[in-house]
Amino acid sequence: MSRPIIAQINSTALETNLNIIRQHAPKTRIWSVVKANGYGHSLAAVLQGLRKTDGFALLDLNDAVMLRENGWNGPILLLEGFFNQTDLMVIDHYRLTTVIHSVWQIKALSHITPKLPLYIYLKLNSGMNRLGFDTISFFDAWHTIKQLKQVKHITLMTHFADSNKLENIERQMKVVSHVNKKLRGTYCLANSAAILWHSQTHAQWIRPGIILYGASPSGKWKDIEIYKLQVAMTLQSKIIAIQKLPIGEGYIGYGSKLYLSHKTQYIGIVACGYADGYPRHAPAGTPILVDGTYTKTIGTVSMDTLMVDLDPCPQATIGSLVELWGKHIKIDDVASAAGTLSYELMSKVMPRVKMLIT
Ligand SMILES: *Cc1c(COP(=O)(O)O)cnc(C)c1O
């Protein structure tokens, strides 16, 4: 039998979440953000679950081609644009929409002869200071591109650095409004947090990522509970051994963590470690579900195993099912225990974990 760790991907949950987002932002079109292999859920799963999206947004040209070749005929947006001139041949051939964030990309565009003029997204740096043109160079870029016969349509795009705080959204929206006064057109601004909590950012297109997969953009599950988003990924495994520690002192796992117990302590060994994508920094006490019962991890996460306290579930045996994250154990809670975000955990599930798409 193969190692029991499995990532179950529920494509119906993706579909449900897309519908919830549509109801929440009914007047705007949706780019489903599927970068990083669909936040670790696989492109096969997003193709299946998100068929009703208006477009897919991602980074990798090969992934874009893969979506096309698997039958997706709608819009595809390259969020970081292209990385060299030759990419533009592929963009033209597969009818992809590309972000333009740098002057060299405008030059590259002006040197090609596409079969049909391209749709582009011009990226405004409204205060995140990552990619894009500042306001002054944005107007220049816009006017230069307007003259190009290679371009059919320009959409203005920007990205929020901190959509959890209103004042930070407002600071960036001021820059957007300034541009909007002079350039009325199509706008695409909002990521998940802005979609849920700042409807003034919705514009003509939105770009949800994390909420499609059923996790919280704030890192706190409680913040999204009312929206009834469904968890799309369940990481599960099994107990493969049980250790019995005597009363008193014991040492467990790497680093020989001292363990004190006033009664005999049973420990379940789970076939899941950091080489599967479970965070090594998840401390003892991180929530986990064993045989349907909530318990916690103990000791240090190792490469291929982790340990759980079997106190709350004395019935557990070798072969008992363990949920690392999913419907019951919120990935946001595991991430926050490990000092990170669900985004990182989802996108780092390793290829050695079998994936089951339902
Ligand atoms: C990743 C990404 C998104 C989606 O962000 P979420 O917080 O997952 O909704 C949107 N826009 C851009 C440019 C991105 O890189």
| Cβ of 101 below 6 Å from ligand 1 | no
**Atom of ligand 1 minimally distant from the CA of 59:** 15
Nearest CA among 214, 170, 151, 199 for reference residue 18: 214
Model confidence at 39: pLDDT above 70: yes
* Paired tokens of 134: 């500042």
59-79 residue pLDDT tens = 999 999 999 999 999 999 999
**Atom of ligand 1 minimally distant from the CA of 159:** 13
- Amino acid, res. 193: A
User: Average pLDDT for residues 218-232, to the nearest whole number?
Assistant: 97
303-329 residue pLDDT tens = 999 999 999 999 999 999 999 999 999
Model confidence at 129: pLDDT above 90: no
**Atom of ligand 1 minimally distant from the CA of 208:** 9
Residue with tokens 């205060």, as numbered in its chain: 127
pLDDT given for residue 211 in this prediction: 98
Euclidean distance between CA atoms 33 and 123, whole angstroms: 16
- DSSP-derived letter for residue 124 is B
- DSSP-derived letter for residue 253 is T
Give 1's pLDDT tier (boundaries 50, 70, 90).
low
Residue 67 host element (H or E) = helix 61-69
User: Average pLDDT for residues 201-211, to the nearest whole number?
Assistant: 97
Which residue minimizes the CA distance to atom 1 of ligand 1?
209
Nearest CA among 262, 208, 235 for reference residue 326: 235
**Above pLDDT 70, what percent of the chain?**
99
Using most ligand atoms within 8 A of CB, pick from 50, 79, 162, 346 the residue to mutate for ligand 1.
79
The helix-helix angle for 103-110 and 135-146 (nearest 10°) equals: 0
Which residue minimizes the CA distance to atom 15 of ligand 1?
79
- Cβ atoms within 10 Å, residue 76: 24
* Paired tokens of 47: 């193709």
Q: Is 254 noted as a catalytic residue in this protein?
A: yes
Beta carbons of 265 and 307 less than 8 angstroms apart: no
Euclidean distance between CA atoms 146 and 165, whole angstroms: 35
| Cβ of 201 below 6 Å from ligand 1 | no
Give 190's pLDDT tier (boundaries 50, 70, 90).
very high
Q: Catalytic one among 35, 165, 220, 327?
A: 35
Residue 325 host element (H or E) = strand 321-325
Give 249's pLDDT tier (boundaries 50, 70, 90).
confident
Beta carbons of 161 and 172 less than 8 angstroms apart: yes
Secondary structure of 181-239 in the HEC alphabet?
HHCCCEEECCCHHHHHHCHHHCCCEECCCHHHHCCCCCCCHHHHHHHCCCCCEEEEEEE
Q: Catalytic one among 107, 152, 222, 254?
A: 254
Q: Is 59 exposed, middle or buried (0-12, 13-18, 19+ CB in 10 A)?
A: middle
pLDDT given for residue 231 in this prediction: 98
